[in-house]
Amino acid sequence: METANYKYVIFALVIAAIFAVAPFSLPRFYVYLIALIVTTGLLSTSLNFVLGFGGIYQFHHAVFYGVGAYGAAVMIMKLNYNPWIGFIVGPLAAAFLSLVIGLICIRLSKLYFGMLQISLGSLVWAIVYRWYTFTGGDDGIHGISVPPILESPIGSYYFTLIVVALSLFIMYRILKAPFGSILQGIRDNVVRSQAIGVNVRRHQLIAIVIAGFFAGVAGVLFVVVDNSVFPDMMFWTLSLEITIMALVGGWYTFLGPMLGAAIIVLLRTFVSTMTEYWALALGLVLLLVILFLPEGVLGKVFEIWRERGLGRTGEAERTKGTDYA
């Protein structure tokens, strides 16, 4: 194993040990909170897959999260299918929507891509918000049935951890594969990638579909944890929030969005109990990160480790294109 990989092994083992004992040492609310953090972390990581590592301006990623959740909820509650079938349909519906939106937006680049995606995502949100007979409208869908093994808080907690861990592993292996290297090369220099024969649009579209699929997985996990869905899950403000999570944790680190999700979710949970202006605290945190930690919290940690000789030997100084995947 490369020396650089030990930082991930150590970090993962410590976090896994903490998560494994959490249900037996924490009140039920905190167990729910951890499950919500890892679910949101998966969502933010799937965004970072295309934004941080692909350079694709995915500005309305939350719509795939909401479609994944609604896909499962509608299959279970409206069409009376087995919950396990709903759990499979949710991510597939999110991947299909990401393919459709991707095909429409892929001809544009950067901000134009992001703005068009926001428009299309907002259209999906409006349909869900108004379609009372099928989606429940602004009331959402509550009391969603889950398999008996997931009805207890501990069962849903461990199921969430296992699915998130598996999803992170798959995304990590994709980024370490040749496809991931090509994707990062496109991000760093589109013109050069085209010049050596890379089909840029095809690779970007595949990345968008992969990210949409795992956003849908996160949506299904929210159904498992919360047993409900609501239109705000696909509103543009959530897309902004998960983008901030990736920025706070570290754009060019694979696990950074998970850390950013923990910071933001905890901040929202506890600061909002003290004041209704918790968004002000979020803004201050974001400002401090931009000014003092432009590489994100985890990016800064890895930079310190590298300076102490724990990174790759002879690794070049980190630039915009440097990654810690």
**Maximum Cα–Cα distance for the chain, whole Å?**
61
Q: Which DSSP category does 317 fall into?
A: P
Domains of the chain (ranges plus CATH)? Answer: 25-307 (1.10.3470)
Predicted confidence at residue 292, as pLDDT, reads 83
Supply the pLDDT for residue 282.
Answer: 78
Spell out the per-residue pLDDT of the chain, length 325, in tens.
455 566 667 766 787 788 888 888 888 899 999 999 999 999 999 999 999 999 999 999 999 999 999 999 999 999 999 999 999 999 999 999 999 999 999 988 788 999 999 999 999 999 999 998 889 998 999 999 999 999 998 999 999 999 999 999 999 999 999 999 999 999 999 999 999 999 999 999 999 999 999 999 999 999 999 999 999 999 998 999 999 999 999 888 898 999 999 999 998 888 878 777 777 877 887 888 878 888 888 888 877 777 776 544 444 444 444 555 6
**323, two tokens:** 């990654």
**269-to-32, 36, 65, 282 alpha-carbon distances in Å:** 12, 11, 20, 12
User: Which pLDDT value is given to residue 25?
Assistant: 86
Which of 58, 8, 295, 31 has its CA nearest to residue 168? 8
pLDDT given for residue 108 in this prediction: 86
Output 8-12 pairs: Cβ under 8 A, ≥24 positions apart: 8/254, 8/255, 11/255
SS3 324: strand
* Paired tokens of 56: 């694709």
Return the DSSP state at 124.
H
Write down the pLDDT at residue 257: 93
What element of type H or E holds 109? none
DSSP code of residue 253:
B
Say what the pLDDT of residue 258 is. 92
pLDDT of residue 8: 62
Task: Kindly report the pTM of this predicted structure.
Answer: 0.90
Q: Give the CA count within 13 Å in the CB-facing half-sphere of 93.
A: 24
Q: What is the pLDDT of residue 37?
A: 94
DSSP per-residue codes, 27-82? -HHHHHHHHHHHHHHHHHHHHHHHHTTT----TTTHHHHHHHHHHHHIIIIIS---
Q: Are 46 and 215 in contact (CB under 8 A)?
A: yes
Given this model, what pLDDT does residue 267 score? 87
CB 189 within 8 A of CB 42: no
Residues 7-20 as b/e (b if ≥16 CB within 10 A, e otherwise) read bbeebeeebeeebe
Nearest CA-CA partner of 261 in 247, 275, 274: 247
Task: Quote the pLDDT of residue 85.
Answer: 96
Q: What pLDDT shows up at residue 273?
A: 80
pLDDT at 110: 81
